[in-house]
Chains A and B, each alone.
Chain A
Amino acid sequence: MSFPPEIRRMPSRFRNPLGKYKIHRGSACLHCGLCADVCPRGVHRRLGKKMLLPKDEWCIGPSCQENEYYCISRCPQGALRMAVNPNLQALTDYRWPADLLLSTWQQAETGKIPYADLEYRVGHSGGGFDRLRLRLPERRTNFFYQEGEISTAIPLNRRGDERPQVGVGVPFYGGGMSFGSVSINTMLARAKASKAWDTFTCTGEGGYPEPLQRYDDHMITQVATGLFGVREETIQRVRVVEFKYAQGAKPGLGGHLLGDKVTPAVARMREAVAGSALFSPFPFHSVYSVEDHKKHVDWIKEVNPHCLVSVKVSTPTDVDMVAVGSYYAGAHVIHLDGSYGGTGAAPDIAKKNIAMPIEYAIPKVHRFLLEEGIRDQMTFIASGGIRTAYDIAKAIALGADGVVVGTADLVALECIRCRNCESGRGCPRGIATTDPEISNLLDVEWGAQRIINLYASWRDQLVTILQLLGMKSIRELVGRTDCLVHLDYHRGELESDDIKPLLTGGNDDPHRAWHPEQDDAMRLAANR
């Protein structure tokens, strides 16, 4: 497989994909087909003498009015109407507003930045990443570095010990999702995409299912408090082993898999009883000090002399001390999972209230590691609410080396964030389920390609950001808080020109693909 992997168009699995706008064709329609002839997006299609239902997920909405092919005004009968899709009212939250879901689905389908007027960079949470902006200079036509010269790779082993130099091709990898919390097809799709992008995905705490062995070099296996499915041979199989002390969505509370999802296959993998709920305790009952923690790390290093050790912790007030403790315990990677991270099941009170958001933890820990003089020897990974390429760039500019993503992978697989992952047979969309029938809704090839496409779009955006900043490598962006503005702080600067284009966010965005070739390809695909 070549790097970067090939983008292939992967449309929605469902009969009626959701779009931002809805086109209504009234009874006055004569089926003349003019709209199908003019629309370059393939929204309108005619089969024989009949118009088909509009593919309104490709409609770009009112911003189309300026175009001579605007179907609403071109229709000789005035039979067409356009409105914001009413479904979106039921499909939105502050962190993942409908725009972000739709734009992520489009990126997963096309591998490109969405072309409609969809916001694909920030949500509406009103703080953190959603109030931070990258301070990019005016767009240039000639960049100092060409696309091919730019590196998005980061090393994971910076300790200078005798262990292998493992790295990732993109500054992100997949977070832990266990067999049990998600289906084997979901795990395989993620693993396949990780391999294609020369990065990793993580087994979570629930064993290492056989089919994943093909992807051993791109898997991280987790040792968490319940030790479910942890065996010497699973630890020996991988290049990176992750200790999960805590998870951002339920910091300090351990893990929870509800009984309904413990199918016989899941129970076998975890050496548990089918149908009964499984709890991972908190904390590790063998770890009550940094010395114990070091013993733990040494144990893994002994079992697998070639692996790197990552330590995943949450974000308490003393998160900086925990990070330093992990360094002295011998970890290669410190992975902080912020309080707004995802989960298969967690108490609502914990998700909302316990521990600090990752946006605060990153600068705090980065600064502390610098002061301790060990920043260069640790790989610092952040997670918990990373949704877009812009979130990745912002997290790195705040001080992380790279990030871990979870929910975004699932959104690429058409997760709709209905948050019923924990109940009954699990995910009705075949992602976070163990029900054999529902699991089959998700095809591994389709899923892998969707994630590959999303990553491709993200990498393109990161490359352009680096080009605009005149940087050759993503590593140059680490801790460059001067590349950021915060909307609550720099009101004066907001008026200045250098960041204006990014704030308006319209179709003049530097990354937005408006190539006629692409449109044609899409139109053909839509008319297939």
Chain B
Amino acid sequence: MPKKYHLNPKPVPPRRVPPGPFGIIEGDGCLNCANCVKKFCVYSVYRKRGYDQQQMFDTADSLCKNCFRCVQGCYGRILSKSRNPEFWTMGDDYWTPEIIATNQTQAETGKIPVSGGGYGGPFAGPGFDSMWTDMSEIVRPTRDGIHGREYISTTVELGRILQTMIHPAGPGAAQLSPILSEMTFPPRVEASIPLIFDLLPFRAFNSAVRLALAKAAFEANTLMIIRVEDLTDEFLPFATHLVPFLPGGTLEGSIPAIRRARMVQVSFSESVMETVREVKKINPGAVVCLRLPLTPRTEEEVESLARAGAEVLHILADEKGREQNATSPRFIKDLIRQIHLRLVRESLRDGLSLIFGGGIALAEHVAKAILCGADAVSIERPLLFALECRLCKPCADGITCPVEVENIDPEWGRQRVVNMMAAWHGQLLEVLGAMGLRDVRRLRGEAGRAIFLEEIEKETFGSIFGQPVQEGKPQEESIHVLSS
């Protein structure tokens, strides 16, 4: 039994007021009755009102809880509420303003988001929103894992597992691949949370940002992928939790980094297993993780890599979780399932670990990706959200960041990221607890404990209403939430 895993979240206020979804608009003709201040607002928003000169931001908007008491009580009928465009224009169709905002709140509080009222979102949606996770009702193994009465482990081990034990002198030993014959037990790396930090998108962020993330990865006992050239001396204390990403070509300059690391990452190429052998020569104790894009050819590649003795594959969809280089890209969750099942069919699945990345935006995506067959997932953008990034993206073109993501104290950044990890970990426990599972490794590929939209539609409505109009997919309907 591993040591009980616990993160220490601590409230860390943001450096700037985050935009709220709605704003209060005040028309002309205030009667100065002050009812909104004195009487109506149970949250004392008006009393706490201030104005941020630098950001041109009214705190009444950011503190407002949208209860409409002041709007409905105003004697002059001059108050109204409206959408705050600054909030609603954040992100894009996949990385929605809600996703950015909830991750920022989690980084601030370290708590899992809790609210009253039922779920107000769409019935189902594309991608990860087309599946639900199971719960167990009466017959279940755990006794209340969430409130700590029984421990739920989120630890994963990444690396190769030997499927059979062969005596070095016994029959069959000759057929062993050269890598395996050199060692009795392949090395494995443990992460206390099935969530690793990937290379950041958009630009080469400065060392303050990387240091904040490295410290957080160390504290959360997980791994962070980092370019070899970025591994300066200040990162040495956290080297055990850093995965150097090796450049192509000669390994000459990377030897010290390889020697220090428990895991290294190299890009996939036709001759990648050659590189793996070279790395193993430098450090036999290092797990080598291969980085490859998720394309229509990945399934084949994964199978042959598994047969060739690959230990860990890090497979990356695009930033919206879509297959790369495909004419009609499929979504990552479906491909995880497909790749996982292929390896299961070929009796290769337990031989290696699969990490998937691309489009992992919320804690629920971690659970769902693992349910579909991943061992762990990688994240990038949510790490930036923790550091207050609003995904405006001009930084990719070299324009100065408006929220100054790079201008941080690494300690502040570390705690924000740890907070977010604590919140995601807590949410993962909620999902595992509801299913009655005590170990995240039991969740992997447990598709029988998931409810997939297409399948449940077919099983219930399909048997009542026949064939759907569009096979598999519910019809798109433009949502007209009062746009007129």
**Are A92 and B481 in contact, with the CB atoms below 8 A?**
yes
Contacts of A491 in B (CB 8 A): 469
Cβ contacts under 8 Å, A485 to chain B: 465
Q: In the bound complex, do residue A251 and residue B135 qualify as a contact, i.e. CB atoms below 8 Å apart? A: yes
14 intermolecular pairs with C-beta atoms under 8 Å apart? A16-B77, A245-B137, A252-B436, A288-B139, A313-B137, A314-B135, A317-B134, A317-B449, A347-B112, A356-B132, A420-B67, A484-B464, A486-B465, A489-B465
Residue of A nearest to B131 (CB): A353
Name A345's contact: one of B22, B115, B143 (CB within 8 Å).
Answer: B115
With known contacts A126-B479, A428-B67, A422–B116 Cβ distance under 8 A: yes
Interface assignment of A231: CB less than 8 Å from any CB of chain B = no
Chain B 31-43: CB-based contact to A (< 8 A → 1; otherwise 0): 0000000000111
Residues on A with C-beta less than 8 A from B482 are 84, 88-89, 92, 97-99
Chain A nearest CB: distance from B304 CB in Å? 35
Given A317-B134, A349-B363, A419-B115, also A489-B461 (CB < 8 A): yes
Q: In the complex the two chains form, what is the Cα distance from A94 to B405 in whole Å?
A: 34
- 3 nearest CB pairs, A to B: A421-B116, A127-B123, A252-B434
Of all chain A residues, the one with the shortest Cβ separation from B475 is A488
Query: Is B138 a contact of A251 with CB atoms below 8 Å?
Result: no
- Shortest Cβ gap from A395 to chain B (Å): 13
Give the distance in Å from the alpha carbon of A362 to the alpha carbon of B306 in the complex.
Answer: 44
Interface contact A253-B430, CB-CB below 8 Å: yes
Bound complex: CA of A325 vs CA of B138, how far in Å?
10
B362: chain A residues at CB < 8 Å are 349
Answer whether residue B164 sits at the interface, using C-beta atoms and an 8 A cutoff: no
Chain A CB within 10 Å, residue with most, of B120, B363, B433, B435: B120
- Does A303 sit at the interface, judged by CB under 8 A? no
Complex Cα spacing A341 to B469, Å? 28
Q: Mark B331-365, 1 if CB is under 8 A from A, else 0.
A: 00000000000000000000000000000001110
Minimum Cβ distance to chain A for residue B162 (Å): 34
When C-beta atoms are compared, the residue in chain B nearest to A415 turns out to be B117
CA distance A345 to B111 in the complex (A): 14
Task: Pick from A265-273, A277-285, A499-507, A517-525 the stretch touching chain B.
Answer: A277-285
Complex CA–CA separation, A99 to B483 (angstroms): 12
* Contact A363 B42, beta carbon cutoff 8 Å: no
Contacts of A18 in B (CB 8 A): 68, 71-72
Interface string of B57-74 (1 = CB under 8 A from A): 000000001111101111
CB distance from B89 to the nearest CB of A (A): 14
Q: A343-B117, A428-B41 are in contact. List 7 more A-B contacts (CB 8 A).
A: A53-B77, A86-B25, A245-B138, A288-B139, A349-B364, A354-B431, A421-B116
Tell me which residues across on chain B come within 8 A of A407, comparing CB atoms: 117-118
Partner of B430, one of A130, A350, A422, A489: A350
A247 and B452 CA atoms in complex are apart in Å by 21
Partner among B115, B119, B136, B368 whose Cβ is within 8 Å of the Cβ of A420: B115
Closest to B140 in A: A283
Task: List the B side residues contacting A285 at CB < 8 Å.
Answer: 143-144
Q: What total of chain B residues lie within 8 Å of the partner, measured CB to CB?
A: 86
Contact of A438 among B42, B74, B474 (CB under 8 A): B42
Least distance between A481 CB and chain B CB atoms (Å): 5
Q: Are A345 and B123 closer than 8 Å at their CB atoms? A: no
Q: What are the residues of chain B within 8 A of A353 when measuring CB–CB?
A: 132-133, 364, 367-368, 431
In the complex, A363→B143 CA distance in Å? 31
The answer to whether B53 has its CB under 8 Å from any CB of chain A is no
Q: With A15-B74, A16-B77, A90-B82 known to touch, is A349 a contact of B430 (CB < 8 Å)?
A: yes
Given contacts A124-B479, A418-B65, A488-B470, contact A355 B124 (CB under 8 A): no
Residues A316 and B456 in contact in the complex (CB < 8 Å), given A16-B73, A348-B114: no
Cα distance, A280 to B222, chains bound together (Å): 32
Please give me the residue from chain B that is nearest to A314 by CB atom. B135
Contacts of B25 in A (CB 8 A): 86
Q: Are A345 and B121 in contact (CB under 8 A)?
A: no
Within 8 A of A (CB), among B137-185: 137-140, 143-144, 146-147, 149
A344 to B118, CA, bound (A): 9
Q: Which residues of B contact A484 (CB under 8 A)?
A: 464-465
A385 on interface, CB distance cutoff 8 Å: yes
By the criterion CB–CB under 8 Å, are A416 and B132 in contact?
no
Q: Given the complex of chains A and B, what is the CA–CA distance between A348 and B119 in angstroms? A: 8
Contact assessment for B135 and A290 in the assembled complex, using a CB-CB cutoff below 8 Å: no
Of A251, A359, A489, chain B has the most CB atoms within 10 Å of the CB of A489
Asked if A17 lies at the interface with its beta carbon under 8 angstroms from chain B, I say yes
B136 touching A252, Cβ below 8 Å: yes
> Is A96's beta carbon under 8 Å from chain B?
yes
Question: Using Cβ atoms and an 8 Å threshold, which residues of chain A touch B71?
Answer: 16, 18, 87
Distance of A128 Cα from B123 Cα, bound (Å): 7
Is A228 on the interface with B (CB-CB < 8 A)? no
**Count class of interface residues, chain A:** 35 or more
Q: Which residues of A contact B132 (CB under 8 A)?
A: 339, 353-357
Contact of A363 among B77, B133, B460 (CB under 8 A): B460
Q: Which residues of B contact A423 (CB under 8 A)?
A: 65, 116
A289 at the interface (CB under 8 A from B): yes
Contact B464 A481 (CB under 8 A): yes
B452 to chain A, nearest CB (A): 10
Closest to A225 in B: B144
Q: Does A424 contact B (CB under 8 A)?
A: yes
Residues of B with C-beta under 8 A to A475: none
Is B2 located at the chain interface by the 8 A CB criterion? no
A140 at the interface (CB under 8 A from B): no
CB contact list, A412-445 vs B, under 8 A = 416-425, 428-429, 432, 438
**B93 interfacial by beta-carbon distance below 8 Å:** no
Say yes or no: B134 contacts A355, CB within 8 Å: yes
Cβ of A193 under 8 Å from chain B: no
B80 within 8 A of A: yes
The answer to whether A249 and B118 have CB atoms under 8 Å apart is yes
Residues of A within 8 A of B69 (CB): 14, 428-429
In angstroms, how far is the closest chain A Cβ from the Cβ of B481? 5
Assess whether B459 is in contact with A364, with CB atoms less than 8 Å apart. Answer: yes
Q: Is B113 part of the binding interface, using a Cβ–Cβ cutoff of 8 Å? A: yes
Kindly provide the distance from the CB of B88 to the nearest chain A CB, expressed in whole angstroms: 10
- Which chain A residue has the least Cβ–Cβ distance from B80? A87
**Minimum Cβ distance to chain B for residue A24 (Å):** 10
Q: CB distance B474 to A131 under 8 Å?
A: yes
Q: In the bound complex, what is the Cα–Cα distance between A17 and B149 (angstroms)?
A: 48
Of all chain B residues, which has the CB nearest A433?
Answer: B42
Residue of A nearest to B461 (CB): A486
B248 at the interface (CB under 8 A from A): no
Contact of A360 with B456 in the complex, beta carbons under 8 Å: yes
Q: Tell me the bound Cα distance from A489 to B470 in angstroms.
A: 8
Q: Which residue of A lies closest to B147 (CB)?
A: A279
Binary CB contact string for chain B from 446 to 474 against chain A (1 if under 8 A, 0 otherwise) = 00110100001101110111111110001
Indicate whether B442 reaches chain A with its CB closer than 8 angstroms.
no
B21 CB to closest chain A CB, in angstroms? 8
- State which residues 203-260 of A face B: CB under 8 Å: 245-246, 249-254, 256, 258
- Tell me the minimal C-beta distance from A182 to chain B in angstroms: 10
> Using Cβ atoms and an 8 Å threshold, which residues of chain A touch B433?
252-253, 282
Tell whether, in the assembled complex, residue B481 and residue A124 are in contact, meaning their CB atoms are under 8 Å apart: yes
Q: List residues of chain A with CB within 8 A of the CB of B125.
A: 126
Contact A417 B117 (CB under 8 A): yes
Interface string of B290-302 (1 = CB under 8 A from A): 0000000000000
A93 touches B (CB below 8 Å): yes
Q: Which residues between 98 and 114 of chain B lie within 8 Å of chain A, taking CB atoms?
A: 102, 112-114
Q: Which single member of A12, A53, A351, A359 contacts B118 (CB below 8 Å)?
A: A351
CA distance A346 to B481 in the complex (A): 25
CB distance from A144 to the nearest CB of B (A): 26
Instruction: Please give the distance in Å from B333's CB to the nearest CB on chain A.
Output: 13
B427 and A349 contacting across the interface, CB-CB below 8 Å: yes
Answer yes or no: A342 CB below 8 A from chain B CBs.
yes
Whole-angstrom CA separation of A252 from B434 in the bound complex: 4
